[in-house]
Structure 1
Amino acid sequence: MSSETFGPSSSSRSAPEHGRQRAGLWSVVVLIPALLLTACAPATPAVTASPKPRVTVTPTPEPVELAPLRGTPRLPGSVSLPAFSAKIDNHEGARPQIGLERTDIVFEELVEGGLTRYVAVWQSDIPDLLGPVRSIRPMDPDIIVPFGGIVAYSGGQEMFVQMMMDTPLVNAVFDYDDTGLFYRIDDKDSPHDVVVKATDIVAAHPELAPPVQQFEYAEKPDEASAMLAGSPTTTINTRFSDARWPSWSWDPAQASYLRSQEGEPDLDSVGAQLHATNLIVMRVGIDWTYGYVPKTVMVGSGEAWVSTGGKSIHATWSKDAQASPIRVVADDGTLIALAGGNTWIELVPTEDGSVELVP
């Protein structure tokens, strides 16, 4: 290393300058150990705040309540509604009916003269106005009592009216109405012109409970019994008499059965064809105790077919008391499950009636 740069002394430098150089050298000597000590000292670990764990709260979904007569999620406001049943006219002069397309369940029954009438039941979607309303028949208490709630009709033979009055149902009767809940409309001829303010009657009876579930429903449409074990069926033809032969055709586009009467499309009040998600055809006996007025035998059992999703399954129906719901059991003994949606039930007489399922 050159002495010119780092030498300790030189005769050409003065004493003070030499002293300054030594002082500077000493400072360097002292500083280096300090730096070494600092470098060798253990490092203080850095303190880093741990992030708080992220908590994801997944809300528990509220249980979905199903409409008891439809097997679909309840509509807002329908949870506490009672069933509203009505005798609906099916004479040519009564068509198209008002509100029939909004029913949960419809029964078609034989009446005098080979004609048919409906027992229509609403709960999930009760119209403000429905009709035309007609008179009661002797089998109607056996059909309607399991639903509870309210029954509306225009009147009937005294003995038949009394049969219905003797049930726990609230009876709303046109012949006895002095409140304006029933009235006649202008665009239909009498006696096919009586309509009823259904929601007004329901609102007057907040004490009534909703109906109990009548049939089993599958969680998914393709899990309905007919879909799982039924045979393909494109058309179901039924015959009540020479005057009435309703039929149903499966429409894949609408995923429902479309109704016809006497070979013509059966239309609703807005011009669309009446339809059903499920169709139950029951073979029933007829009791002629009341002369020319037939009574469909509802307490008993018989052959049945259940159609859903373009397939039909053979079954047996049974009902052990007036207040009991109808049970429909497949040939393997299992209780049949319907798809969620509306249901029509054809009560086809074993005497003179017929059923044909077309693949």
Structure 2
Amino acid sequence: MNRNKVLVGILTIVLVFILLAGCGKPAPAATEVEIVESPADESNSKDMGEYGKQAETSGVPSPISGIYTEPENISRRPIAVMLDNQSKARPQAGLDQAEIVYEALAEGGITRYMAIFLMNEPESIGPVRSARPYFIEKALEYDALYVHVGGSPQAFIDLKELKVADIDAMSRDGSIFWRKNHKKAPHNMYTSTNALRKAAQNSGYKAEGDFSSFAFNIEDTDINGRQVSSIEIPYFKDYHPSFQYNVEDKKYDRYINGKPHLDEISQTHLQAKNIIIQKCDTEVIDSVGRLEMTVTGTGTGYFITNGKMIEITWEKKARKGRTKYYDENGKEIRLNPGVTWVELIPMKLENVFQ
């Protein structure tokens, strides 16, 4: 099979951040998404188990990932954890067991993750970091326990007004959150799913979630789109995530600044079965560089799986509603069973596509 990669396009999303006078943090540079063509994959293998490697289906599919597991693993409430992605915080623990991970800009050009856990219960998750409003809106889509350490002023307002099941390290003891010595504060706050469920019980939060799930294919299914082998999203300076298609696994290996993105504990190379790139109106709102990112409403983006990409539109009718993604025919997309990474990227009307 010819593996030579042919460049088919560079999708450039330009966002100019105007910082207020006196702000000491730089504005992010233009963000571009580079998509490189890959040879057609003639494989028609099934991909139904945990992260696509289970030999046969058993149990029930997770509403978060479509991966089959035992019923007791999904009869509980999802957990959404904010994770630090500054260079001193890397590598993170627990990402290898997340079923969905969201990445978006915070202030100063850095990005932050929100990992969603349901069927798996990692014993170490971190470093945990602060809340932002647009991440809260995404967590609400799963009726999740929302886990963080502090937050922006607007985030605190939203947590109260939206009645979020809030688990904040600032108001919890050392049995729920703890600092590790191998990293320096504030990049060393950790927790576990067992500790978080204990905290939820202590707070009287309901034990089960109430949310609508994504639509999943029963069998691993190709989409009728452009063939892609490489995706790069250079948010800013040291925040350049990329994905390289692994033909053998039929998944995308994830990289940070050109190096494999590994889990801190397992040293597993993180992979994505599905990648959603969601373009959002974004603007700087204060002198610290905090952002307002519009994730409720409508917009456009891209869906990538099995080495192919299609253009999509997205719609979220209410802050607590689920984001729905549609293909060019207006049909809601179906994800393949497996891990999904959602990249929330800024956009302006003057986007240039080449």
Percent identity, aligned pairs only? 26
* Higher helix proportion (structure 1 or 2): 1
Is 1:315 the counterpart of 2:293? The answer is no
Aligned residue type for 1:141: I
> AA paired with 2:328?
D
Instruction: Summarize the alignment of residues 182-221 of structure 1 with structure 2, pairs less than 5 Å apart.
Output: 182-203=177-198, 204-205=200-201, 207-221=206-220
User: Which whole-Å CA distance do the structure 1 matches of 2:318 and 2:291 have between them?
Assistant: 19
1:329 deviates by 0.3
TM-score scaled by length of structure 1 = 0.76
Deviation at 1:323, TM superposition (A): 0.8
Q: 1:175 to 1:114 in 2, by over 3 A?
A: same
- In terms of mean alpha carbon deviation, does 94-103 or 288-297 score higher? 288-297
SS at structure 2 position matched to 1:113: helix
1:325 and 1:275, CA in 2 relative to 1: closer, same or farther beyond 3 A? same
The answer on 1:285 being equivalent to 2:281 is: yes
Q: Per chain length, whose mean CA-contact separation is higher, i.e. which structure has more relative contact order (CA < 8 Å, sep 6+)?
A: 2
Q: What is residue 252 of structure 1 aligned with on the other side?
A: 247
* 1:13 alignment counterpart: none
User: Relative to structure 2, which stretch is displaced further, 231-240 or 100-109?
Assistant: 231-240
Aligned equivalent of 2:173: 178
Q: Which amino acid aligns with 1:172?
A: I
C-alpha contact 1:70 1:104 (8 A) present in aligned 2: yes
Contact 2:58–2:68 at 8 Å: present in 1 too? no
Structure 2 match to 1:324: 321
Please list the CA deviations of residues 76-114 of structure 1 after superposition, one character each: whole Å capped at 9, or x if unmatched.
531312110011011111111110110011110101111
Q: What CA distance in whole angstroms lies between the structure 1 residues aligned with 2:326 and 2:173?
A: 45
2:302 to 301, 305, 329: 305
Give 5+ residue unaligned stretches, structure 2. 1-56
Asked if 1:87 is matched to 2:82, the reply is yes
Task: Return the letter of the residue paired with 2:75.
Answer: S
Amino acid corresponding to residue 212 of structure 1 in structure 2: F
- C-alpha change, 1:76 and 1:320, in structure 2 (3 Å) is closer
1:66–1:212 Cα change, 3 Å: farther
- The alpha carbon displacement at 1:71 in A equals 1.0
Following superposition of structure 1 onto structure 2, how do residues 113-192 of structure 1 map, counting pairs within 5 Å? 113-178=108-173, 180-192=175-187
SS of the residue 2:223 aligns to: helix
CA-based RMSD of the aligned residues comes to 2.4
The residue number in structure 2 matching 1:98 is: 93
In structure 2, the residue corresponding to 1:285 is in which secondary structure?
A: strand
- Measured in 2, the distance between the counterparts of 1:290 and 1:325 equals 28
Query: SS of the counterpart of 1:164?
Result: helix
Matched length: 292
Amino acid at match of 1:328: Y
Rate the CA distance shift 1:352–1:303 in 2: closer, same or farther, 3 A: closer
Shift of 1:275: 0.8
Other structure's SS at 1:267 match: coil
